[in-house]
Structure 1
Amino acid sequence: MSAAATLQALRTEEGRRNPYPHYAALHAEGPVIPLTGSYAAVVHGYDAASRVLRDPDFRVLDAEKLSRAMPAWHEHPSLIVLMNSMMFINGEQHTRLRRLITREFTARRVTSLADTVVRQVDHLLDRIAEIGADGAEIDFMREFAYPLPSNVIGELLGVPAEDRPWFQPHVAAIGAVLDAGGEGKFPAADKAAAELSAYFADLVRLRRQDPRDDLVTVLSAAGADDDPLTHEELLSALVLVFNAGFETTTHLLGNGLEVLLRRPEAARRLREQPELAASYVEEFLRLEAPAQLTTRWSAVDTEVDGVPVPAGATVLVLLGAANRDPARFADPDEFRPERPDNAHLTFSAGVHFCPGALLTTAEAEIAFPRLMSRFPGLALAGEPAYRPQLTLRGHTHLPVTVG
């Protein structure tokens, strides 16, 4: 099968559900394969992907690039929100935004949330115990994987608890336009972006009148003395922080739990040795990455592993494939939390490394040992249902019983 045919297979329902045989087929052809059409190449080897992600000549999709392919993109509120965020900005402007935002998104602030995470985890486990006491089937996604990160990021930002369930469908609607074939999702995404922006505009106004110890208050004043965030940048930053702190964590929890429930010995080991949680979480992120792909466009004529990439051309970077590159990871399809130097690319690399990575891993490292300890009989109650997307891989439904 050609690389183009393999990529087309990844767009099918089966390919999205199980992309890994297709990744293996690509690895058999080398780390980078030239393409024609939308992409100059597909980059799936670990070293090649790492180089592209770290190379400043390879840039994330930004307003400059989007304007060439979609001149009317300003008509979509969802794209305006995305293009004003540091996720889709390059160069000095990205450096500026990242500095203003990440200096507030500190390890100290994340560490201070540990008690909140423990409290939220235990509350959700109590609910699971209650509704599953008679052997009833429980949807782990609905009862745990969605509400935990939503509540934690809501606590961090200062979003009232009663408003947090409202965010999940809005965040998902915006994320849907980033997947292949997402053009048809603009009506829902644009409505969600407009509503989220209006919500955060109101919350910013309230926090400026009544400051709290939360990230909305802090970011509202970020750089105020020398280089303030514009109103649009602030709203985009808040939407991005909620999105990045919510969806990735949700699917790390769901993907990781499925890995454990299909490997009872690994689950038992974590239950008995909770200190292994950090290495387990890193291996979940490598083996079943929530973020499976990204793109970069080249600002100059260049090459990747001998494959030419003209200036202005875009390359497809398969993060999930790079994480399973047999040239980098021995037995790449096996769950081996003891791997040395498990430097996966799930959170990207270089200047666009995910700023929420620390919070995401911290939540999972607390949640998994407590989950395994509380419910030693936890088991799958049927086949999971997967999201119909590849960019962000995860479940819509993960049925379990607590034993």
Structure 2
Amino acid sequence: MRRKFVISLILSFATFSVSLSSQSLKKVDSFKTENRANSFTKLDSNRFVLVGQKNENWDVLASHKVTFHIFDIREKKLQSVVPPIADYAQNNLGIFFDGNPVVSYPNGKTYIQFRSSLVYYDGNRAGILLRNTSHSDKTRTQERTIYLNWELGSNQITWSKAISELNQFENVDINRGGGVRESKSVLRNLLIPVGIDSNRQIFYYTIEKERNEKGWPNSISVMSFSIGSKSVDEVASLQVEKINDADYSSPMLAPNSDFSKLGILEYSELSLKKLVKGHVLDLKKGKVIDFPIPVSPYGAAFDPESQYFLVLSNETGKLVKTNLTTLEQQTMDSIHGARYLVFSNTGKYLFAFAHGGTIEVRAVPSLMVVKSIQVSSLHTDQAAWEPGGSVFTSNGLWATIPESDAISQLGKSGLHLFEIEE
């Protein structure tokens, strides 16, 4: 009897594997962009912005232009939008620390000293983050992040709100060549965007506070910005544990699908001594669960029901599953060089991405590997060096960015669109 059960189980799994191998993972289309993209930001259930698009003009403020590429996965269209950031900036120079964001060097080169990213878009209005840094001739660099409200009908930025202002670490002199030296902070990106809860119109982000002379923050604060009321609030603050003389990496952040929970992974390393500390924050109640993680994090994801939290390790080729109720952990083999984790829309499969264009597919809930997919570059037809972000939607479509490093010198990227039957 037991033998029949085992044989039946083997045959069932074999049938499942064949089913997955033969099911449709058919490429529908490819979309190329001129600028490099390395991930997606979710705007709503079917629209995503390609992250990493660079500014198209860095010469003068008057002609400063940035294009955001929005992919509508339901319509299978890539839409380019150009917000009037330069017009708004020229009429509101007070948003900049120095009243003028244009920096000129003795060798004749100039650039605009601010960066922008699209974080909200509903078809009628959009939200843009504008990051401005103080001029580099000061002993300390300051960074200010401003939220811009963009009304699409009138193509006007109607209001702005400073949501973060931070002092950075002492500057160091950097030799730019040609007799040009620049004083620049060694610490960047103190504000890390998490994403936006579109239903509640709340934008979440983290900031690292009060860094010491070694660059360690004393705490990580999770902040929320309510678009409707324009209020900024601290959801929770986490004290940072330190290893003397170790390097501290910015925490890895992973929200669950409905923005009710946020996974935060701290990571620091000194020789063979490592600290990987996991936190799961309830974004609505402010409560935190703490637990250790035995591997260095390169990818993290909640399961669709938010019952457990997965962490993927690039260097060890391990996948760690943490039960969020009991905090029991299970460690299993994965692939070396892996990064990025994403569940399919139905939650039946887990996709892990690795260098060389390999995508490992696991069945849920067993997390057994059932398939390996090779994804090629958009521009060279060779194996993708590092697959970027990936997203699923309810109508059985799957989009993935096949490279973020392979052709970065060309400044080109884009995405592949697949059909997947589950």
**Same fold by TM-score greater than 0.5:** no
Bigger relative contact order (CA 8 A; separation at least 6): 1
Q: How high is the TM-score relative to the length of structure 2?
A: 0.22
Q: How high is the TM-score relative to the length of structure 1?
A: 0.23
- Of the two, which has the highest radius of gyration? 2
Q: Which has the larger share of strand?
A: 2
